[in-house]
Structure 1
Amino acid sequence: MNERSALRMLGETLPHAGDDAAVVDGQVVTTDMLHDTTDFPDGTTRYTAGWRAVGASLSDVAAMGADATSAVAVYAAPSFEDDDLREFVAGANDVCESVEAAYVGGDLDQHVEFTVATTALGETDDPVRRSGAEPGDAICVTGDLGRSAAGFRFFQRGQTEESAELLERANELFRFPPRVAAGEALAPVASSMMDSSDGLARSLHQLAEASGCGVDVDSTLVPIHAAVDDVATDAADRLELGAFFGEDFELVCTIPTEDVEAATAACPVPLTQIGEVTEADREDAQSLTMDGEPLPDRGYTHGEN
């Protein structure tokens, strides 16, 4: 089975599974694993790897509307190099500090491939789950999408052209800001929320499945990162990179329409309404559309990218 089928199967037997993080007695916990071949393109620095790996777990905490408190990581590699370890820890420390959390250590292991497993902790008394969206709610996203897709294209160009400048641009784009502060600001009004690590389209499918609803999205409203315009070949490619590539770690949420204005004012980063939650069509379990056409369930899947 693929990753999503496995997660769906596990969700049937694990009562705390199914959201971006588990919440037990007000404690939020989440874990992630990233691999050299699937998550870190050639040219990714160890500093960027540390930032990105730990940031991915902090993003899950953000998606629950929780306050991030700490993170740990398992660092596995064929050998331990002094500079690599120091740079990785520096990146992990810096991304934690950016959300006022603490990087508190982890474990080392030897492995045939550079691999990182991260865990982040947070606190909340009122988590925001994926299952609360209601018809009529506004669908909103933080920041802009396509940052990682543009970074990946810059990694490819940097390797081909042997350009240190392009590789630095790629690394910069891969060091995304976890939206912890935004998640906390949106938590009081969001009816559902998750991060967009699997891509906007797939995230909407997951949210709709959890909430038993449909969605209708206007592609012209989807905020696209400026770097995408530097790498996209045409308008269709631009939307592909913004809505379907994934690994953006922005927040996707639904908000009652009467609360959108207040949420926009409270959110510390731009918040954009891109569509509306709709009734689920019982004859069509998906009921997801973009510009009036079926929204493909396409995005990032471990083992397929």
Structure 2
Amino acid sequence: MDDRLLLDRIRGIIGEKETEDDCSVFDLGNRFLVMSTDMLHETTDFPEGMTDYEIGWMAAAVTLSDIASMAASPADLLMAVGLDRPDRLIGITEGADACCRSVGARLAGGDIDRHAELTIVSTAIGFVNHEKIIRRSGAKPGDLVCVTGLPGRAQAGLEGDPRFWNNLITPIPRVREGIAFSEGGATAMMDISDGIALSLIDLGLASGVGFSLDPSLFPLIPDIPATRAEDLFLFGGGDFELLATVPVECFPVAGVDTSVIGVVTQNRDIISGGAPLPRCGYAHRWN
């Protein structure tokens, strides 16, 4: 049992639409309020060697990335911190505040309590005009599949490649790129924190489409074996890049450094290099 299968069990309680996107969406009349929350634990989410400042940055970044994936501008972030040691709070707060400021958001408060294991819950809100929001459900057959950055670096950093340690511990929320995708006509979007393969499954289910990927187009990490680089690209977690679908006539998208890796198909299968793409990536699992 993983977290996606567990989510399927409660969709009927919460609602299909409410569990479809990276954020919940509330209509304010003249624009949308978008909201997201994440829970991080030290043993499962913060690699050994991180400073408290870096922990605070990461805890803020993962939630601000959800706001970015809706093409919204982040406003406020609340952080509830369950502390194993009270002396850690200052560094965590400084890191979270710096991450918020880097994307024009405000660390606006939260909660503090005692906890056996450091646990942080971050909740962010943002705003986006009605016509500018991008959901997971808008991909159309023929659209190009695009991704920002160089996915796989965070997983490589986790596995010991020192070149990519900072990609793992201080991810950059792609707020600017999310807004640029919206301005440039993207039809669907999400972040790829759990890896490209699982993200394509989520995007395909929401849009009722499939994908055909061309491995020759993948932007792979240099100086490692090609097969391993491709696995990192497709299945590595921890990259808070954006995956978007863009009509051919709208590409390239101004203001976004992006790579085309395939095309949206009417057939709901997800194919890479002519073969089905395995359901692999980062997931919370219960035995």
TM-score higher than 0.5: yes
1:112 deviates by 1.5
Counterpart Cα distance in 2 of 1:169 and 1:277: 30
Partner in structure 2 of residue 283 of structure 1: none
Name the counterpart of 1:14.
14
TM-score (norm 1): 0.86
1:200 is aligned to 2:201? no
Deviations 1:4-38 (A, max 9, x none): 01222333332422100011011110000111111
After superposition, give the CA deviation of every residue in 1:108-142 in whole Å (9 maximum; x if it has no partner).
12111111111111001232111111110000011
Measure how far apart 1:266 and its partner are: 3.0
Verify the 8 A CA contact 1:36 1:114 in the aligned structure 2. Answer: yes
**Unmatched 5+ stretches in structure 1:** 158-165, 281-285
Query: Are positions 1:299 and 2:267 aligned together?
Result: no
| Aligned equivalent of 2:241 | 250
5+ long unaligned stretches in structure 2: none
Please give the secondary structure, in 2, of the residue aligned with 1:246.
coil
CA shift digits 1:70-117 (9 cap, x unpaired):
111111122211xx2111111101111111111112111211111111
Separation in 1 of the partners of 2:167 and 2:54?
A: 8
With structure 2 as the length reference, what TM-score do the two structures score?
A: 0.91
2 CA distance for matches of 1:4 and 1:253? 21
Paired with 2:275 and 2:55, the residues of 1 have a C-alpha distance of 37
Which residue of the partner structure matches residue 206 of structure 2?
Answer: 210
For residues 301 and 66 of structure 1, the distance between their equivalents in structure 2, rounded to whole angstroms, comes to 26
Q: Distance in 1 between matches of 2:81 and 2:221?
A: 31
Q: Cα RMSD (Å) of the superposition?
A: 1.8
Go from structure 1 to structure 2 and tell me whether the alpha carbon gap of 1:111 and 1:145 turns closer, same or farther (over 3 Å shift).
same
Matched, 1:272 2:278: no
What is the deviation of 1:64?
0.5
Could you say if the C-alpha distance between residues 43 and 147 of structure 1 is closer, same or farther in structure 2, counting changes exceeding 3 Å? same
Structure 2: how far apart are the matches of 1:151 and 1:106?
A: 31
How far apart in 1 are the matches of 2:188 and 2:8?
19
Deviates more, 1:46-55 or 1:235-244: 235-244
Match of 1:2? 2
| 4+ long deviations beyond 3 Å | none
Once the two structures are superposed, the pairs formed by residues 26-175 of structure 1 within 5 Å of their partners are 26-81=32-87, 84-126=88-130, 127-154=133-160, 170-171=165-166, 173-175=168-170
Provide the secondary structure at the position in 2 that maps to 1:27. Answer: strand
Query: What letter matches 1:14 in structure 2?
Result: I
**How many residues are matched?**
277
- What amino acid is the match of 2:246? I
